[in-house]
Amino acid sequence: MHQDAGAPLSAVVVGAGVGGLTAALALARAGLSVTVVEQAQALGEVGAGLQVSPNATRVLFNLGLEAELSALAFRPEAVEARGWRRGQEISQAPLGESARERYGFPYFHMHRADLISVLEQACRAEAGIALRLGSEVVACASDGTPALVLASGERLEADILVGADGIRSVVREALFGPAAPRFTGQVAWRGLVPAERLKDAGIRPVASLWMGPGAHFVHYFVRGGTLVNFVGVVERDDWREESWSSRGEAADLRRDFAGWHPTVQRIVEAAPEDGCFRWALFDRDPLPEWGRGAVTLLGDACHPTLPFMAQGACMAIEDAAVLAGCLAGCGRAGIPAALKRYAALRRTRTAGIQAGSRRNATIYHLPPPFSWARNLVMGAGLGMGSTMDGLYRYDALAAGTRPAA
């Protein structure tokens, strides 16, 4: 497809996850014509809960999604850390209204499918976006005019190509060659339990982290408090299936968290037999470059993030806003420079989140006596609460208008 000199810049976004859909909406609002290609036939109930912190809600609200998201979200009052067996409170940091007052935007717990649904509807309503599901990418050309080849044989060309297609990105491989992600030695369980089944389980309206030797367990409400989302992470080397939709045996889940606090036990016991999923956690080192020419990457395609700072989706949302800011008003000749600036603005922050998430994986799983020292440090206010300001005050909307350092 050949672009007229006066036509709007065109972009093809590969992947209709949180990052890809946010990028499509942000780019369209910046004046670009956007096509999103996604191999799935429909965007459905994939994944479970997400924590969407103020650095991300800032972007989503700016895209006009405040009312839709607010209607579906749960607003936690705090985030807390507790001991795995006795349940003693180790640390707590306020969220709720205090977070909105401090950072200007709220902290949400959401079902991933709800966030995807809101973004999908917004993209379908946007005149400058074409959303193409059931379109698998089999090849990508990054030299000259960016182009994709679909499984159907169709070739798509655009001024800009954005790979938002996850940790095993086809676009990333086309740019930098094949490289397998690294298995972390950790496996995550996930599931959803109706809140009415857990009325007397002692679950508070907060994000709760239970830390134990070699494992940790997180739970919080989603869908306005009607569901409890849980994620349990254990260190093991006998499961390397990466899919979020791989079912695990409920008996194995209960075995992995046997002996934990009664609240954790209640959640695990209430998990539906056909609703327990587990996936292996994989990782990659930060990329020194994110693209070439008019092709770039976004989200897990360039900085896959372990879920131990609850920032994976948030980083992809930030990426989308900064990318759109860098490309706004950009002519065709300026595309390579704009994409280099986007990557330069994002690399340090996302690499820091990757490193912090890896570090938390170690900290959360410390055995005694090291866990005792950790608890003292966190109890003194040097844990999760001390990192919030740097995370949540970040303004991706303003970042895209600034020159790279």
> How many angstroms separate the CA atoms of 258 and 272, rounded?
17
The alpha-carbon radius of gyration of the chain (Å, integer) is 21
Residue in this structure with the two tokens 């959360």, named with its chain if needed: 364
> How many angstroms separate the CA atoms of 344 and 403, rounded?
9
Cis peptide before 369 (omega within 30 of 0): yes
Q: Which of 338, 333, 405 is nearest to 27 (CA)?
A: 338
> How many angstroms separate the CA atoms of 343 and 296, rounded?
8
Residue in this structure with the two tokens 């990757």, named with its chain if needed: 354
295: its two tokens? 């092709």
Task: Name the E strands within 223-343.
Answer: 227-235, 277-283, 295-297
The residue type found at 403 is: P
- Residues annotated as part of the active site: 220
Longest dimension (CA), the chain: 67
Query: Which residues does residue 212 pair with via DSSP β-bridges, in sequence order?
Result: 215
**What own/partner pairs with CB < 8 Å and gap ≥ 24 does 345-352 have?**
345/399, 345/400, 345/402, 345/404, 346/290, 346/318, 346/319, 346/322, 347/286, 347/287, 347/290, 348/405, 349/315, 349/318, 349/394, 350/286, 350/302, 350/303, 350/305, 350/315, 350/319, 351/286, 351/303
SS3 186: strand
Tell me how far CA of residue 83 lies from CA of 116, 256, 378, in angstroms: 34, 16, 12
> How many angstroms separate the CA atoms of 402 and 325, rounded?
9
